[in-house]
């Protein structure tokens, strides 16, 4: 059964997170990623119309769209296109021109801490060099997408249903997990200490915690999140947001969370510029102020999704097809 089919049964959207990008990447757990790396991709980044609308499917495409820690990227490195550090608050999106690859989605971008890659199937594998996307050749396994990539803080993995691989240099080596074998990279998230898998397939909600190479069943108290891709953080607390279901994690207890201003949010579309936290879901654009989501006005582009926002460690970008923008 392919990912789209599973999503129609309740499989949720991005990030991510997958948590390896967050704050550093415009996804929720960027800070942790900086220290130990969480899972990716499109992470603080997300989706919108629930399991049927691709824009609502947290694909680490969104959640944690861009994934991982960018702290290892040197501002003077030839792989970076600009030399200044990203600064917020952001207000304007300006058209961006790329070389080599011009039609791509931000939710499939990821990093190994040194380089930035775009991965979308066997025919689209690229590495970023300045403003140019150069073809990248992988060994072992080549048919994977960036939104399926995640990390345990030591190794980088690709997980798509039963196909699991670990990256060793430029080679993807088959990986065997114990306890749990069916999951996607964007089902993975972290609380900064442990790594979890939260998934909902065929009407069944499952939760696991990673112990070595074994996934052990995890029991949460209170309300239970269904999708790991809808889990995000404001740097202090960890939240679950999916179509009106909003919770905050306190220890092992998920407690109901009340937001003001906007309540029907999807965690996969939440992202940050390192200063402010935004919710971008099509024409619904908000910035978080305490417990209130306040309307946010963007210049240049007003209709976009947070799950497609990413960063190269210098600037924040929005990528969807031929629509390519840079924030300022």
Dump pLDDT digits (tens) for 258-310.
999 999 999 999 999 999 999 999 999 999 999 999 999 999 999 999 999 99
Question: Is residue 127's pLDDT more than 60?
Answer: yes
Instruction: Answer whether residue 108 is part of any domain.
Output: no
Please give the average per-residue pLDDT across 225-239, as a whole number: 96
Q: What is the pLDDT of residue 325?
A: 98
Question: Is residue 212's pLDDT more than 70?
Answer: yes
Q: What is the pLDDT of residue 89?
A: 81
Domain count, the chain: 1
Instruction: Answer whether residue 256 is part of any domain.
Output: yes
Please give the average per-residue pLDDT across 208-231, as a whole number: 96
Instruction: Answer whether residue 105 is part of any domain.
Output: no
Q: For residue 31, give the H/E element and its range.
A: helix 30-35
Question: Is residue 126's pLDDT more than 60?
Answer: yes
Instruction: Answer whether residue 94 is part of any domain.
Output: no
Residues 6+ apart with CB under 8 A from 123: none
- C-alpha span between 306 and 282 (Å, rounded): 9
Residues 6+ apart with CB under 8 A from 169: none
Question: Is residue 71's pLDDT more than 90?
Answer: no
Q: How many whole angstroms from its chain centre is CA 199?
A: 15
Please, which pLDDT band fits residue 86 given cuts at 50, 70 and 90?
Answer: low
Q: For residue 23, give the H/E element and its range.
A: helix 22-25
Question: Is residue 164's pLDDT more than 90?
Answer: yes
Instruction: Answer whether residue 179 is part of any domain.
Output: yes
Question: Is residue 231's pLDDT more than 60?
Answer: yes
Instruction: Answer whether residue 104 is part of any domain.
Output: no
- C-alpha span between 150 and 164 (Å, rounded): 11
- C-alpha span between 265 and 276 (Å, rounded): 17
Instruction: Answer whether residue 184 is part of any domain.
Output: yes
Q: What is the pLDDT of residue 26?
A: 34
- C-alpha span between 10 and 215 (Å, rounded): 22
Q: What is the pLDDT of residue 87?
A: 60
Q: What is the pLDDT of residue 16?
A: 32
Instruction: Answer whether residue 169 is part of any domain.
Output: yes
Mean pLDDT across the chain? 80
Please, which pLDDT band fits residue 42 given cuts at 50, 70 and 90?
Answer: very low
Q: Between 24 and 180, name the one with better pLDDT.
A: 180
Q: Which domain holds residue 17?
A: 3-68+141-309
* Residue 115 bridge partners (DSSP): none
Kindly tell me the burial class for residue 162, based on how many C-beta atoms sit within 10 Å of its own C-beta (0-12, 13-18, 19 or more): exposed
């Amino acid at each position: 059964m392919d990912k789209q089919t599973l999503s129609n049964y309740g499989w949720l959207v991005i990030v991510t997170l997958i948590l390896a990008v967050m704050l550093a990447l415009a996804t929720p757990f960027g800070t942790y990623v900086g220290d130990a790396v969480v899972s990716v991709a499109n992470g603080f980044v997300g989706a919108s119309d629930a399991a049927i609308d691709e824009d609502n499917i947290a694909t680490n495409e969104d959640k944690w769209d861009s994934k991982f820690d960018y702290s290892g990227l040197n501002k003077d490195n030839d792989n970076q296109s600009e030399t200044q550090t990203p600064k917020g608050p952001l207000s304007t999106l300006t058209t961006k021109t790329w070389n080599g690859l011009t039609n791509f989605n931000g939710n499939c971008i990821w990093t190994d801490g040194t380089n930035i890659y775009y991965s979308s199937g066997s025919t689209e594998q690229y590495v970023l060099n300045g403003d140019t996307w150069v073809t990248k050749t992988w060994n072992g396994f080549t048919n994977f997408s960036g939104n399926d990539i995640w990390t345990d803080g030591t190794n980088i993995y690709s997980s798509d249903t039963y196909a699991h691989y670990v990256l060793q240099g430029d080679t993807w080596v088959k990986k065997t997990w114990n306890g749990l074998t069916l999951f996607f990279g964007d089902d993975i998230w972290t609380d900064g200490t442990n790594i979890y898998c939260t998934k909902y397939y065929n009407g069944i909600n499952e939760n696991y915690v990673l112990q070595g190479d074994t996934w052990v069943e995890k029991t949460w108290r209170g309300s239970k999140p269904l999708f790991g891709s809808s889990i995000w953080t404001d740097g202090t607390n960890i939240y679950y947001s999916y179509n009106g279901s909003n919770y905050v994690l306190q220890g092992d207890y998920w407690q109901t969370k009340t937001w003001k201003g906007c309540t029907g949010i999807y965690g996969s579309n939440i992202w940050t510029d390192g200063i402010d936290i935004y919710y971008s879901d099509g024409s619904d654009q908000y910035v978080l102020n305490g417990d209130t989501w306040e309307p946010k006005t963007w210049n240049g582009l007003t209709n976009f999704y947070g799950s497609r926002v990413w960063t190269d460690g210098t600037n924040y970008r929005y990528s969807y097809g031929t629509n390519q923008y840079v924030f300022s």
